[in-house]
C-alpha cells in the first residue's frame, strides 16, 4: 500500500495569497520547499470582493484555497428567521467570553456548528442582548447603551463568521498568526484532533493594539474592548497550540506576557538565501554622486510610510544629494498610498520614487543604506536581505555586536557569574556614555526602544513640571509613540495643542491660535 501524503493546512489572515512579500513570501517559499507534502490554505479575508484575487502563482502541491470572510451575507439579511435560545451552558460560556472571563471555547465551537444556528438571529436575539446589557451595567454604564450594543455586535460579528466556518480536514494545522487564524486552527484541532502549530512573525495582538490606538473608526472605550477581543482570541490559541514559534527572544517574552506557556515556545529565526544576494551590481559613475536610501515594504499604514517621507524631507534639506526609493506594492491600501503621494507633493520634496513591485536585486547593490519605519515588525526579511547585500552596516559594529552576543548573554540582574559579568560590561558602557554626555551614570536609563524612551521622557517631564502649566504644543510630524503618550496625559488634565505647518513643512508658530479648552483628536494627523 502506498503511503498517503501528509496534508498540512496553512491558516493565514490578510496575507497569502492576496499580498506580495513579507509573511506571504515566507508561506510561498515554505510550501515550495516541501514538494512531497500536500498543502491547503485557509485564508481569512475581509469580504467577498477579494475572492480569488491571488497575487501568487500557486505551487503544484497547494491543492486548495478555502476563503473565510469576516463580512458576509448572513449579517446583511436582517430579517429574523426565528428566535434561538441558548442552553444554560452555552449562555454561561458566551457570557464568560463577553465579560472577559475564562470561557470554554469547545462549547462555543459546538454551538456554532449546529446547522440551524443563525448568526443574525443570535446577534439580534434576546440572549446576546441580555449578556451585553449585563456587561454594560457592570463596566460601561456611563456610555450610550444603543451605541454600546451595536458596537458589541460589530465586534463579535467577524468572530461569529469564523466560528461558523466548516474547517477542512488536515493532518496538521499551521497558523501564521493568532487572532482569527488562531481561532480557526483551534476549531480544527477540536473537531479533527490534529496537531496545531502557531508561527508568529510579528506579535499579532500587539500589532492590532497599535493599529487600534491610531484608528479613527473607533473611539474611547471601544478601542480597549476591541483590544481585549484580540487578546482573548490569541490566549485561547496559545493555550491550545502544541508548539508556538517566534523569531527572537523579545518576541518570545511578549508571547509569555500575553499568556503563552513558556514550554511551548521555540525560537526559529528567519533565514534568507545569501547566495541570491551576492555580487549585486553597484553604482555607475553617474550614480556615485547620489546617496541612495531604500525601503522595501508594502505601502500600508502599519509600515508608517508617512513618517519615512517626513524624515526624508527633513534630511533632504540638510543633504541635497539624498534620493529615496520606496520599493513595493501600492495597491493593498490605495487610500493610504494616495495620502503618501500627496504628502510628498505637499512637502515639495524631490527625489522620492515609488517604484511599485520590483526585483530588489536591481536596487540593493546601489543602496548606501536601507530603512524601515514600521509600527510593528517581527524580524523583517527586507533588513536581513539588506545585510546580506552588504547594505549597509559597518563591519566594526557587527564585530562588536557579534562578540558581545556570544559572551554576554545572561541577565545582568541575576546573581550568578554570567549575570555579574554582563552587569560589569553594562556598567562600564554606562560610565563611558555618561562621560560623553557629561552626566552621572545613574542618570542613564536604558529602554527597549525609542517608543518606550519617548513615553518615559514625555510623561516624566510633564509630571515633573506640571506646576508650571499643563499646556503642551506639538507639530503634526510627531511619531505615534509621542501621540499615544500625550493622549494619556490629556486624560490627566493636560491640554495638547497641534501647531499647523507651513507649505514647506516648517512649524507655523506665527499663525497659531492657542485654545486652552481644546482636547486634540490625534487620529486627524495619522
Asked whether the predicted pLDDT for residue 236 surpasses 90, the reply is yes
CATH of the domain at 326: 3.40.50.2000
Number of domains in the chain: 5
- Domain encompassing residue 484: 450-525
Asked whether the predicted pLDDT for residue 394 surpasses 70, the reply is no
pLDDT of 284-293, one tens digit each? 888 889 999 9
103, three cell numbers? 470561557
- Domain edge (last residue) among 209, 235, 267: 267
Same domain? 252 vs 204? yes
Same domain? 384 vs 499? no
Query: What would the DSSP string read from start to end of 206-259?
Result: HHHHHHHHH-SSS-THHHHHHHHHHHHHHHHHHHH-SEEEESSHHHHHHHHHTT
Same domain? 62 vs 180? yes
204, three cell numbers? 499579532
Same domain? 506 vs 425? no
CA distances from 436 to 424, 433, 440, 444 (A): 19, 5, 10, 11
525, three cell numbers? 494627523
* CA angle centred on 175, ends 236 and 168, rounded to 5°: 95
Please provide residue 47's backbone torsions phi and psi, each rounded to the nearest 5 degrees. Answer: -160, 180
Range 509-524 average pLDDT? 49
Taking the C-alpha atoms of residue 446 and residue 440, their distance in angstroms, rounded to an integer, is 14
Same domain? 105 vs 117? yes
Please provide residue 397's backbone torsions phi and psi, each rounded to the nearest 5 degrees. Answer: -65, -45
Same domain? 125 vs 248? no
What residues have CB less than 8 Å from 343, skipping those under 6 apart? 306, 309, 310
Least confident among 103-112, 127-136, 430-439: 430-439
Taking the C-alpha atoms of residue 492 and residue 342, their distance in angstroms, rounded to an integer, is 35
Least confident among 200-209, 356-365, 387-396, 516-525: 516-525
Asked whether the predicted pLDDT for residue 26 surpasses 60, the reply is yes
Same domain? 179 vs 215? yes
pLDDT of 493-509, one tens digit each? 888 887 776 665 567 76
pLDDT of 130-139, one tens digit each? 999 999 999 9
Judging by DSSP bridges, how do beta strands 265-267 and 243-246 pair with one another? parallel
Same domain? 369 vs 234? no
Range 5-25 average pLDDT? 90
CB 300 within 8 A of CB 207: no
Same domain? 385 vs 283? yes
pLDDT of 448-499, one tens digit each? 777 788 888 888 888 888 888 888 888 766 776 787 788 778 888 888 887 7
The helix (run of H) or strand (run of E) holding residue 445 is: none
Instruction: Quote the percentage of the chain above a pLDDT of 90.
Output: 44
Residue 164 forms part of a structural domain: no
Range 349-353 average pLDDT? 92
Amino acid at each position: 500500500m502506498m503511503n498517503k501524503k501528509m496534508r498540512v493546512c496553512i491558516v493565514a489572515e490578510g496575507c497569502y495569497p492576496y499580498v506580495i512579500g513579507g509573511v506571504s513570501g515566507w508561506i510561498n517559499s515554505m510550501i515550495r520547499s516541501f514538494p512531497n507534502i500536500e498543502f491547503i490554505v485557509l485564508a481569512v479575508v475581509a469580504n467577498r470582493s477579494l475572492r480569488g484575487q491571488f497575487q501568487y502563482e500557486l505551487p503544484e502541491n497547494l491543492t486548495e484555497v478555502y476563503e473565510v470572510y469576516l463580512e458576509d451575507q448572513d449579517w446583511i439579511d436582517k430579517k429574523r428567521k426565528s428566535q434561538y435560545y441558548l442552553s444554560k451552558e452555552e449562555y454561561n460560556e458566551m457570557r464568560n467570553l463577553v465579560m472577559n472571563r475564562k470561557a470554554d471555547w469547545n462549547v462555543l465551537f459546538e454551538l456554532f456548528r449546529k446547522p440551524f444556528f443563525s448568526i443574525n438571529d443570535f446577534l439580534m436575539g434576546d440572549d446576546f442582548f441580555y449578556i451585553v446589557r449585563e456587561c454594560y451595567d457592570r463596566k460601561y454604564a456611563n456610555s450610550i447603551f444603543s451605541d454600546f450594543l451595536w458596537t458589541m455586535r460589530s465586534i463579535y460579528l467577524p468572530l461569529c463568521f469564523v466560528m461558523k466556518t466548516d474547517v477542512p480536514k488536515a493532518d496538521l494545522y499551521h497558523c501564521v498568526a493568532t487572532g482569527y487564524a488562531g481561532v480557526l486552527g483551534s476549531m480544527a484541532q477540536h473537531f479533527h484532533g490534529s496537531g496545531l502549530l502557531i508561527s508568529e512573525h510579528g506579535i499579532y495582538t500587539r500589532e492590532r493594539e497599535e493599529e487600534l490606538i491610531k484608528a479613527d473608526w473607533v473611539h474611547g472605550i471601544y478601542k480597549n474592548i476591541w483590544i481585549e477581543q484580540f487578546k482573548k482570541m490569541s490566549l485561547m490559541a496559545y493555550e491550545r497550540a502544541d508548539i508556538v514559534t517566534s523569531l527572537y527572544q523579545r518576541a518570545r517574552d511578549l508571547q509569555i506576557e500575553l499568556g503563552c506557556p513558556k514550554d511551548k515556545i521555540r525560537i526559529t529565526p528567519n533565514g534568507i538565501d545569501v547566495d541570491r544576494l551576492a555580487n549585486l551590481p553597484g553604482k555607475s559613475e553617474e550614480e556615485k554622486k547620489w546617496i541612495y536610501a531604500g525601503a522595501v515594504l508594502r505601502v500600508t499604514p502599519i509600515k508608517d510610510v508617512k513618517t519615512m517621507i517626513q524624515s526624508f524631507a527633513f534630511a533632504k534639506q540638510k543633504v541635497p544629494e539624498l534620493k529615496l526609493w520606496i520599493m513595493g506594492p501600492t495597491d493593498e491600501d490605495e487610500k493610504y498610498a494616495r495620502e503618501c503621494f500627496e504628502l510628498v507633493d505637499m512637502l515639495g520634496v524631490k527625489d522620492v520614487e515609488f517604484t511599485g513591485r520590483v526585483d530588489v536585486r536591481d536596487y540593493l547593490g546601489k543602496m548606501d543604506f536601507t530603512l524601515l519605519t514600521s509600527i510593528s515588525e517581527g524580524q523583517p526579511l527586507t533588513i536581513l536581505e539588506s545585510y546580506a547585500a552588504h547594505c549597509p552596516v559597518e563591519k566594526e559594529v557587527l564585530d562588536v555586536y557579534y562578540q558581545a552576543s556570544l559572551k554576554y548573554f545572561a541577565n545582568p540582574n541575576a546573581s550568578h557569574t554570567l549575570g555579574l559579568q554582563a552587569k560589569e560590561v553594562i556598567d562600564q558602557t554606562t560610565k563611558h556614555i555618561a562621560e560623553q554626555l557629561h552626566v552621572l551614570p545613574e542618570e542613564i536609563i536604558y529602554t527597549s526602544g525609542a517608543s518606550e524612551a519617548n513615553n518615559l521622557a514625555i510623561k516624566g517631564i510633564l509630571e515633573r513640571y506640571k506646576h508650571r502649566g499643563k499646556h503642551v504644543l506639538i507639530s503634526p510630524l510627531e511619531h505615534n509613540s509621542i501621540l499615544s503618550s500625550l493622549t494619556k496625559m490629556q486624560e490627566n488634565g493636560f491640554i495638547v495643542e497641534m501647531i499647523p505647518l507651513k507649505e514647506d513643512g516648517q512649524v507655523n508658530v506665527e499663525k497659531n491660535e492657542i485654545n486652552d479648552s481644546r482636547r486634540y483628536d490625534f487620529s486627524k494627523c495619522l
